[in-house]
């Protein structure tokens, strides 16, 4: 991710907007591509990096891509990057659990609840693999333990995706919930029962039924992001 602009965060509001202070002191409004609560990800005056668009039809030129916390952790804010990171890693053969598939399709309709799967992997030698990607950015206190949680807010949509994955598994396909960790302080991923206990219980239910749960952590620098290594998923 080259040519990013460094700025300072002033505030996030209306979910999709942030005001930032640019290096010249001017204040601009940027797009925040994150539908979650962004709990523990926002600190006033934290360093943020923005991508810039030259499209004259865009209302907001800048998009918030990632930020740095006071503890020095880097957080990938743009949740839409998660699907790109996973797709790139699968194609490059860096996700050993998802190796051997010839074709990768994105945003394919499936299931019974008007859903689209993030990634559909196909091969003549394996069952179709339905991969739902979730971005993990919530690190709770004490941060030294490195426990990341999902979701960061009550998620009916997330529960729907779990039900759809369980259905795909039940009819003979391979179903995977893939946590894309975009927080350098996270060392393991757990369901956020303290935020959405129904989601946590459903996650354990579908895992017991055969849906595969995995997590990989992104290496994030100004040169670019890429998934670098797996991290444990704990379903206690």
Domains held by the chain: number: 2
Same domain, 85 and 72: no
Residue-wise pLDDT tens digits, 125-155: 999 999 999 999 999 988 889 999 999 999 9
Which among 190, 172, 88, 177 has a CA at the least distance from the CA of 132? 177
Beta bridge partners of 134: 179
Q: Say which CATH number the domain at 48 has.
A: 2.40.50.580
Residue 23 phi/psi, 5-degree rounding, is -55, -30
Residue-wise pLDDT tens digits, 106-132: 999 999 999 999 999 999 999 999 999
Please say whether the beta carbons of 117 and 87 come within 8 A. no
Same domain, 43 and 10: yes
Q: Say which CATH number the domain at 207 has.
A: 3.40.1350.60
End-to-end CA distance of the chain: 36
Helix-, strand-, coil-residue percentages of the chain, each rounded to 5: 20, 40, 40
pLDDT in tens, the chain (236 residues): 568 999 999 999 998 999 999 999 999 999 999 988 999 999 999 999 999 999 999 999 999 999 999 899 999 999 999 999 999 999 999 999 999 999 999 999 999 999 999 999 999 999 999 999 999 999 998 888 999 999 999 999 999 999 999 999 999 999 999 999 999 999 999 999 999 999 999 999 999 999 999 999 999 877 788 998 999 999 98
Q: Which two tokens stand for residue 144?
A: 């030294």
Same domain, 46 and 101: no
Q: Which two tokens stand for residue 111?
A: 């299931």
> Is 236 domain-assigned?
no
> Is 37 domain-assigned?
yes
Domain hosting 49: range is 5-76
**Of 76, 105, 126, at which residue does a domain stop?**
76
Please say whether the beta carbons of 27 and 19 come within 8 A. yes
């Amino acid at each position: 991710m080259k040519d990013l602009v460094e700025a300072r965060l002033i505030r996030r509001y209306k979910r999709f907007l942030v005001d930032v202070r640019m290096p010249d002191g001017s204040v601009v409004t940027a797009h925040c591509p994150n539908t979650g609560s962004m709990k523990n990800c926002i600190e006033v005056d934290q360093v943020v990096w923005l991508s810039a668009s030259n499209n004259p039809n865009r209302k907001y030129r800048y998009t918030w891509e990632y930020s740095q916390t006071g503890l020095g952790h880097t957080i990938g804010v743009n949740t839409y990057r998660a699907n790109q990171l996973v797709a790139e890693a699968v194609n490059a053969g860096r996700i050993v659990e998802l190796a051997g598939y010839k074709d990768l399709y994105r945003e394919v309709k499936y299931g019974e609840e008007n859903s689209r799967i993030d990634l559909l992997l196909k091969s003549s030698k394996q069952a179709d693999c339905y991969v739902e990607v979730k971005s993990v950015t919530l690190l709770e206190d004490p941060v030294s333990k490195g426990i990341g949680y999902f979701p960061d807010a009550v998620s009916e949509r997330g529960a729907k995706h779990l039900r759809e994955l369980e259905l795909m598994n039940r009819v003979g396909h391979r179903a995977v919930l893939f946590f894309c960790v975009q927080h350098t302080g996270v060392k393991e991923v757990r369901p956020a029962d303290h935020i959405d206990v129904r989601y946590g219980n459903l996650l354990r239910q579908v895992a017991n039924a055969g849906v595969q749960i995995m997590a990989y952590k992104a290496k994030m620098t100004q040169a670019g992001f890429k998934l670098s290594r797996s991290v444990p998923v704990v379903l206690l």
